[in-house]
């Protein structure tokens, strides 16, 4: 059966319509029409987000970009360009002229060896992997972003629709006539990306798609004479995603105007919207929607994309397997609330050394997502301090009776992890907290605690009784103790009549 309490909606436009929330939880379920590959106890489960382990602390300045090339992870942290080896030892390879803001990186096979290009929004740099030399390219145009394809570097030029191309196999040389303009719908370019043999030219109000021709200067041709009327809301939101890209885009609302932002998957020359009205209502209310930062990764078979809003101190995660959005948080960081919890620490991501590595939005930490780690906590290992708790919260649907009749909720039982206990304190009883709203999610009653069982107490039942009556009931559960609490089922026991859940 499908979950009665916890659905797929979000508390966005009006909590009377939907109160739902998923914080550090994501769904896993069987896909319709495919052989059963999901949980044994039913077609769905709600999983905890993977815990993080701090692998490296590089200093106080934030991680600005990650790029995996060959067997190394290349990192820009503050003004430093750093090579990280698989054993997490590292060497500083160069110094940038700036220390703030996201960077773009890519690589080509150069005439003198492999070259990694770095653009910080003002300057362009080359690191020759073969000769271990770092160079500030004085002759490069004023580039805002770079990408690479067919042994060329390609860059968007500041405050224009122009994009320039380097010499073949040489990022240190940028011929003066090797440029053109994205002019199917003239506007300023925000960013360029070469992905899947398509060159994407993202403007403020439109996007063009170009293919490699091998002739001319530059050797690309527009695939279609018409631009798509979606502009890039934030250059830092771009992330590879399966066979395409994920972006935060804006509709072209009037001459020079900014429309509402939405999240799109871009494949070939097609934009597919993946955000829905409730999420869009939320993110368009943020003052920093146009400064959002995106990253993507795959873990446990789930391809996921995160949007981080730095001033609003919020992270949202999209899961391609279920097409659902969830909030993500972590303890600590400069954007932490008084409770100690703030956005997820990862604003950049890369696969590396068989794990997913996140670059910290606040400092120079590299975190590895480790879903198989025994201790369920974000572990600080490089700068001291105790393990950091992971707050998880689920807010359910409106539970109501036909005709808005009074209903009695006699009991609620959750089928979830029990008996895993807390590694550091095997006799300690980890807790799960339940609270109820009887006014459509506006206010909440006192939290009621139940144990998840000490180590080895696998038959522990998580059950609450005598939950009272109301015409509309909303359930909220929270877990902060360092134990997994994956939910595989729920049982609602009505009093006088069967409870129903809303359709949202």
- 228 and 360 inside one domain: yes
Query: Does residue 6 sit within a domain?
Result: no
- 230 and 326 inside one domain: yes
Supply the CATH number for residue 213's domain.
Answer: 2.130.10.10
- 397 and 329 inside one domain: no
Query: Does residue 12 sit within a domain?
Result: no
Q: What pLDDT is stored for residue 427 in this prediction?
A: 75
- 306 and 416 inside one domain: no
CA 277 from centre of chain? 19
Asked if residue 12 lies in contact with residue 282, where contact means CB atoms within 8 angstroms, the answer is yes
- 270 and 407 inside one domain: no
Query: Does residue 308 sit within a domain?
Result: yes
Domain boundary among 369, 384, 406: 369
Name residues whose C-beta falls within 8 Å of residue 190's C-beta, 6 or more positions apart in sequence.
144, 145, 156, 202, 203, 204, 231, 232, 235
Confidence of residue 499 (pLDDT cuts 50, 70, 90): very low
Length of the chain, please? 504
Confidence of residue 466 (pLDDT cuts 50, 70, 90): very high
Which residues constitute the domain of residue 338? 52-369
- 133 and 187 inside one domain: yes
Name the residue with higher pLDDT: 198 or 253: 198
* pLDDT per residue as tens digits for the range 327-366: 999 987 665 555 678 899 999 999 999 999 999 999 999 9
Query: Does residue 382 sit within a domain?
Result: no
Q: pLDDT at residue 34 above 60?
A: no
Supply 30's token pair: 């069987």
- How far apart are the C-alpha atoms of 249 and 283, rounded to whole Å? 12
Supply the CATH number for residue 400's domain.
Answer: 2.60.120
- 106 and 28 inside one domain: no
- Return mean pLDDT, the chain: 90
Assess whether the previous peptide bond of 218 is cis (omega < 30° from 0): yes
Could you give the C-alpha distances from 308 to 217, 290, 367, 411, 473, in angstroms and in order?
38, 11, 16, 38, 32
Query: Does residue 374 sit within a domain?
Result: no
Query: Does residue 151 sit within a domain?
Result: yes
Q: pLDDT at residue 399 above 50?
A: yes
* pLDDT per residue as tens digits for the range 145-199: 999 999 999 999 999 999 999 999 999 999 987 889 887 778 899 999 999 889 9
Q: What letter would DSSP give residue 166?
A: -
* pLDDT per residue as tens digits for the range 277-327: 999 999 999 999 999 999 999 988 899 999 999 999 999 999 999 999 999
- 356 and 235 inside one domain: yes
Query: Does residue 35 sit within a domain?
Result: yes
Query: Does residue 2 sit within a domain?
Result: no
- 39 and 111 inside one domain: no
- 246 and 272 inside one domain: yes
- 439 and 333 inside one domain: no
Sheet of 52-57: strand order equals 52-57, 365-369, 355-360, 346-352
What's the first-to-final CA gap in the chain, in angstroms? 16
Domain boundary among 314, 335, 369: 369
User: How many independent structural domains does the chain possess?
Assistant: 2
- 431 and 495 inside one domain: yes
């Amino acid at each position: 059966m499908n979950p009665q309490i916890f659905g797929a909606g979000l508390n966005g436009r009006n909590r009377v319509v939907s109160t739902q929330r998923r914080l550090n939880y994501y769904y896993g379920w069987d896909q319709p029409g495919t052989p059963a590959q999901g949980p044994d106890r039913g077609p769905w489960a709600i999983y905890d987000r993977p815990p993080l382990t701090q692998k490296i602390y590089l200093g106080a300045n934030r991680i600005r970009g990650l790029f995996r090339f060959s067997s190394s992870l290349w990192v820009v942290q503050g003004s430093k360009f750093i090579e990280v080896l698989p054993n997490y030892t590292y060497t500083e390879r160069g110094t940038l002229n700036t220390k703030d803001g996201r960077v773009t990186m890519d690589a080509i096979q150069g005439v003198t060896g492999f070259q990694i290009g770095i653009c910080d929004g003002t300057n362009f740099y080359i690191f020759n992997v073969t000769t271990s030399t770092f160079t500030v390219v004085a002759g490069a145009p004023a580039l805002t972003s770079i990408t690479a394809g067919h042994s060329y570097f390609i860059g968007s030029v500041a405050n224009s629709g122009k994009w320039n191309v380097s010499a073949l196999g040489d990022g240190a040389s940028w011929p003066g006539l090797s440029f053109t303009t994205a002019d199917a719908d003239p506007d300023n370019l925000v960013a360029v990306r070469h992905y899947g043999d398509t060159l994407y030219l993202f403007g403020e109000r439109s996007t063009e798609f170009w293919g490699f021709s091998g002739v001319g200067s530059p050797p690309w041709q527009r695939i279609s004479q018409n631009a798509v009327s979606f502009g890039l809301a934030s250059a830092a939101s771009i992330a590879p995603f399966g066979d395409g890209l994920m972006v935060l885009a804006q509709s072209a609302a009037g001459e020079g105007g900014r429309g509402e932002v939405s999240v799109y998957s871009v494949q070939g020359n097609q934009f597919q919207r993946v955000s829905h009205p409730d999420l869009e209502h939320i993110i368009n209310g943020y003052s920093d929607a146009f400064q959002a930062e995106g990253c993507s990764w795959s873990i446990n078979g789930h391809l996921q994309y995160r949007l981080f809003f730095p001033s609003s101190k919020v992270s949202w995660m999209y899961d391609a397997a279920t097409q659902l959005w969830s909030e993500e948080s972590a303890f600590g960081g400069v954007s932490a609330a008084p409770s100690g919890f703030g956005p997820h620490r990862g604003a950049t991501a890369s696969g590396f050394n068989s794990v997913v590595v996140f670059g910290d939005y606040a400092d120079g930490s590299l975190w590895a997502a480790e879903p198989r780690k025994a201790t369920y906590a974000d572990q600080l290992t490089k700068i001291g301090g105790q393990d950091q708790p992971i707050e998880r919260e689920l807010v359910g649907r409106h539970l109501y009776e036909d005709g808005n009749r009074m209903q009695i909720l006699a009991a609620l039982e959750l089928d979830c992890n029990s008996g895993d206990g807390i590694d550091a304190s095997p006799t300690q009883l980890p807790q799960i907290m339940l609270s109820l709203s009887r006014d459509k999610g506006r206010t909440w009653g006192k939290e009621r605690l139940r144990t998840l069982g000490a180590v080895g107490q696998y038959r522990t039942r998580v059950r609450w009784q005598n939950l009272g009556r109301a015409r509309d009931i909303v359930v909220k559960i929270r877990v902060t103790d360092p134990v997994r609490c994956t939910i595989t089922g729920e049982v609602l026991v009505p009093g006088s009549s069967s409870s129903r859940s809303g359709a949202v």
